[in-house]
Amino acid sequence: MRPLFHPSIDDVTVEGILHALSDPVRASIYARLAGLDCAATCTALQQAGDRTIPKSSLSQHFRVLREAGLVRSERAGVEMHNTTRCAEIEQRFPGLIPAILNAHRVQAADALPSRTPGRRTATAVVRKKAKGR
């Protein structure tokens, strides 16, 4: 089996990190992995929102994250255990990863459907029409 490529922390670049996290699926995978206290297998992170990521795609997403220096992957039998390199990246680029993860959380929260105060729902409109108003 080929050894996995993990760049030295000195070779990790801001551009590489931003490129790796520019894909929404990879950003979601990384945010979930960063929220864990332990290593996670690829299949443990296979669910992305309401859809399942195919294993072949998941493998490629982890390769991009690994080659950007964001994760460290270790083979354990047939499984791949992944951990973030947040502490190393924080030393090299202070505040970068927390800022990206916070922006990801804000964006994810904004994407959730919410009710705006004073705005009528479709149900309220139907009820008014039924009453003849």
Tens digit of each residue's pLDDT (9 = 90 or more) over 36-60 = 878 888 778 887 777 888 888 999 9
Tens digit of each residue's pLDDT (9 = 90 or more) over 107-122 = 888 887 765 555 554 5
Q: How confident is the model at residue 128 (pLDDT cuts 50, 70, 90)?
A: low
Mean pLDDT of all residues belonging to the chain = 85
Domains of the chain in start order, with CATH, are 9-113 (1.10.10.10)
Is residue 84 within 8 Å of residue 93, measured between CB atoms? Answer: no
pLDDT at 85: 95
Highest mean pLDDT among 13-17, 78-82, 114-118: 13-17
